[in-house]
Amino acid sequence: MPGRALVATGLPRVTLPSGEAVPQLGQGTWHMGESGRARPEEVAALKLGLDLGMTLIDTAEMYGNGGAEEVVAEAVQGRREECFIVSKVMPENSTRARTIAACERSLKRLKTDRIDLYLLHWRGGPKLEETLAGFEALIAAGAIRFWGVSNFDVDDMEELLALPSGTACASNQVLYNLRRRGIEAGLLPWCRARGIPIMGYSPIEQGRLLRDRVLTGVAMRHRATTAQIALAWALRQSDMMVIPKASSEAHVRENRAALDIKLTEQDLGEVNRAFPPPKGPRPLELL
């Protein structure tokens, strides 16, 4: 199936607590930077994404042991002002001093003077007070503009927001797709009530949704691909950022075109029967 064609329109945006608006559809880089042979294609994919308005790029020091950040640096060369770059500090590096040092290493790999949004990748041993102290020092130095978290459940978020500077959290990046809808019964409404936007990763469940018969049937009605329907389903929530990874230019175009798909009540009914929403709170899922 060739997929839904791209329509050249501006991308919808999500507003952060600061008031800054960023593209709803971004670009992920998980598993990039792991192969020198794949690097030219990865860089070209990210560059095309920028051309198509997908200027939010998510990466992390963990991805490819820093290799993904180096791929991002090459892709945004000469275009840094267009981009909103998100990176993450690993939990073992999340004391105040180590957070600052980790950020400095990421800045060097990214070849930039600041990271737009810096996230704690997941909870670790260091106290949150330590991590936030590191974030605050980095903001004061101009090394990061905003900070947030990743893979935080409701109890983690409650602990975070109880801290003196915890309310400055700009986003929570979590796993979210049709097979992983647990946040709809707890974390998602909790964050919405406090104006903290969710950034959903792995919206296609690392490709495992592509063979689903229901999604394929919906895709055929829209002359789209199954992946585009899975993406359109996540993107229908206008206050949620979504960051699929694409390692080829064709895949980037496919992802971007998902924004132009409007799912009908019939589509959503079929999808909900195949992938029922949670009936009650569930623990946060991770990949």
Q: Render each residue's pLDDT in the chain as its tens digit; 287 residues.
A: 567 665 545 799 999 999 999 999 999 999 999 999 999 999 999 999 999 999 999 999 999 999 999 999 999 999 999 999 999 999 999 999 999 999 999 999 999 999 999 999 999 999 999 999 999 999 999 999 999 999 999 999 999 999 999 999 999 999 999 999 999 999 999 999 999 999 999 999 998 999 999 999 999 999 999 999 999 999 999 999 999 999 999 999 999 999 999 999 999 999 999 999 999 989 999 88
Q: Is residue 129 part of a domain?
A: yes
Give how far Cα 284 sits from Cα of 102, 152, 218, 250, Å.
Answer: 26, 8, 28, 32
In this structure, what token pair is assigned to residue 97? 């001093």
Whether the model pTM is above 0.85: yes
- CA-to-CA distance for 106 and 118, rounded, in angstroms? 10
- Could you confirm whether 63 is annotated as catalytic? yes
Instruction: Report H helices in the chain.
Output: 39-51, 67-75, 96-110, 128-141, 154-161, 187-193, 213-222, 226-235, 249-257, 265-274
Task: Tally the domains of the chain.
Answer: 1
pLDDT value at position 287? 81
CATH number at residue 17: 3.20.20.100
Q: Is residue 159 part of a domain?
A: yes
Q: Is residue 285 part of a domain?
A: no
Q: Is residue 242 part of a domain?
A: yes
Q: Is residue 135 part of a domain?
A: yes
Q: Is residue 233 part of a domain?
A: yes
Annotated active-site residue in 63, 118, 176, 201: 63
Q: Is residue 3 part of a domain?
A: no
Q: Give the structural domain span for 104.
A: 13-274
Q: Is residue 270 part of a domain?
A: yes
